[in-house]
């Protein structure tokens, strides 16, 4: 039930804000609004106020604002309160208001999330300098080496590790050109990311690409247990773990895993202290269900708690950056460089909404900000039926100085409808394959 309520809350807020934009601008320009509906289909609840009927409909996958004289085939009285009686500039504003409201909501929600402060992995906003290439990985097969700085994956410019993670995740099992800087010179390689399944707590599965590169960072030792195996050989708090038995360490989870393999067996531990490497031989001990050497472990983190003004600035900057990545991904989906398996529909959104709600309001607001940004951008796409499609048609009419006939507009809207139906079938299929028991019923999978 948490998943269902979270999904209805997320979608309800996003749709309401979108349609509210259309409604407010329509009223501002004197257009009579006949219906303001959350959802489609038969009406569950309705209320009449003035000329407008406000209602909640049974299918919660969108909403609409019905304006007087909105379409050429609608009955027209010639009144000044009809949509088509307004100038193209006024109609443009009304159509644009919905997507803009979603973009503004994304900025506001992310600013609220940022104001709470956070601790994040320090390397995520750094250049994608490779510290380790995993043996047998796509990166090793492609010739990527430790010390390389990755600048480009396919058409995506890579400025940080976060950009790299997103670019690779969208391209599983596809031959992708990669540009790296090695010894001051650019090298061009080709990598084919492996397909990896990520599972959520609700056992939903998401297929992403991985290439097997890790950042140039080391796990840290915040504290050493007095009298423990590590303390006895000279390991100190503040040391960074470089390797265990010659195996490069990057994250604290790797250290715990490696130590766990050697209960009562000496291991060679190399640590870095004030830019100097030191090597110790230490024997892990069994302590209950765990194997330990008497240290606490951590990864390099950074903390930030921006002021409200700083949070808004960071939110705008972040949303612009994410919008660019989303648009690049959409382009790559069209060209075939990115995998359509990355698309997510209502079921996928519901699963993520449920998990975010369980994690708390901040996680849910962060998810809503991301979906609102996607929704705003999607509605600006020049696809007939969408707001952006209607704006695109008006722009062509303005440039050509003549309006299209009703028959031409109907054909354009039909093409847009087919595109949306194709997209809907794709995302629903993707959603269903993420549910294990449903995928088991698909013999071709």
DSSP state of 64: E
Q: Could you tell me if 8 and 26 are in contact, meaning their C-beta atoms sit under 8 angstroms apart?
A: no
Residue 236 three-state SS? coil
Calpha distance 43→435 (Å, rounded): 31
Which helix (H) or strand (E) segment is 14 a member of?
Answer: helix 2-28
User: How crowded is residue 42: how many other Cβ atoms within 10 Å of its Cβ?
Assistant: 9
Measured CA to CA, the distance from residue 324 to residue 225 in angstroms comes to 48
Compute the distance between CA of residue 153 and CA of residue 164 in angstroms, rounded to an integer.
7
46 Cβ partners below 8 Å, 6+ apart? 53, 54, 55, 56
Residue 403 makes CB contacts below 8 A (sequence gap 6+) with 397
| Helix, strand, coil share (%) of the chain residues, nearest 5 | 45, 25, 30
CB atoms within 10 A of CB 198: 12
State the catalytic residues.
Answer: 19
CA–CA separation, 241 and 256 (whole Å): 11
Tokens of 180: 């790296």
CA 99 from chain center: how many Å?
18
How many angstroms from the chain centroid is the CA of residue 371? Answer: 8
User: For residue 123, which of 165, 160, 167, 169 has the smallest C-alpha distance?
Assistant: 160
Reading the block at residue 310, the tokens are 């700083």
Q: Which of 357, 368, 349 is nearest to 427 (CA)?
A: 349
* Helix ranges, 280-386 (H): 308-335, 346-359, 361-379
Distance between CA 420 and CA 417 in Å, rounded? 5
Q: Tokens 């080391």 appear where?
A: 218
327 secondary structure, DSSP code: H
> By three-state DSSP, how is residue 442 classified?
coil
Residue length of the chain: 445
């Amino acid at each position: 039930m948490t998943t269902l309520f979270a999904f209805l809350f997320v979608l309800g807020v996003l749709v309401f804000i979108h349609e509210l934009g259309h409604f407010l601008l329509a009223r501002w320009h004197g257009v009579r609004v006949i219906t303001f509906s959350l959802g489609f289909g038969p009406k569950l609840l309705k209320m009449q106020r003035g000329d407008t009927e406000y209602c909640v409909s049974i299918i919660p996958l969108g909403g609409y604002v019905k304006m007087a004289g909105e379409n050429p085939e609608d009955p027209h009285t010639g009144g000044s309160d009809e949509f088509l009686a307004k100038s193209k500039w006024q109609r443009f504003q009304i159509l644009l208001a919905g997507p803009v409201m979603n973009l503004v909501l994304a900025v506001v929600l992310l600013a609220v999330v940022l104001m709470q402060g956070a601790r994040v992995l320090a390397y995520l906003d750094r250049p994608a300098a490779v510290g380790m290439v995993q043996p047998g990985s796509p990166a090793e097969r492609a010739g990527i080496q430790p010390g390389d700085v990755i600048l480009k994956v396919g058409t995506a410019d890579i400025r940080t590790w976060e950009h790299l993670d997103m670019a690779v995740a969208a391209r599983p099992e596809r031959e992708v050109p990669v540009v790296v800087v090695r010894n001051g010179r650019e090298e061009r390689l080709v990598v084919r990311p492996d397909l990896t399944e990520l599972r959520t707590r609700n056992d939903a599965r998401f297929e992403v690409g991985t290439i097997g590169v890790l950042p140039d960072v080391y796990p840290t030792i915040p504290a050493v247990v007095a009298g423990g195996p590590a303390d006895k050989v000279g390991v100190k708090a503040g040391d960074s773990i470089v390797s265990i038995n010659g195996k490069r360490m990057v994250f604290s989870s790797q250290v715990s895993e490696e130590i766990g393999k050697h209960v009562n067996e000496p291991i060679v531990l190399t640590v870095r202290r004030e830019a100097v490497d030191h090597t110790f031989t230490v024997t892990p001990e069994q302590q209950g269900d765990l194997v330990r050497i008497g240290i606490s472990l951590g990864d390099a983190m950074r903390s930030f708690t921006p002021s409200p003004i700083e949070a808004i600035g960071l939110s705008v900057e972040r949303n612009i950056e994410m919008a660019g990545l989303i648009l690049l991904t959409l382009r790559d989906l069209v060209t075939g460089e990115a995998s359509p398996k990355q698309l997510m529909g209502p079921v996928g959104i519901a699963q993520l909404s449920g998990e975010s709600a369980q994690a708390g309001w901040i996680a849910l607001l962060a998810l809503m900000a991301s979906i609102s940004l996607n929704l705003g951008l999607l509605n600006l796409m020049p696809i007939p039926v969408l707001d952006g499609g209607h704006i695109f048609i008006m722009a062509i009419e303005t440039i050509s100085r003549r309006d299209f006939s009703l028959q031409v507009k109907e054909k354009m809207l039909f093409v847009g409808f087919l595109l949306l139906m194709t997209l809907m079938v794709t995302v629903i299929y993707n959603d269903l394959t993420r549910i294990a028991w449903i995928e088991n019923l698909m013999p071709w999978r």
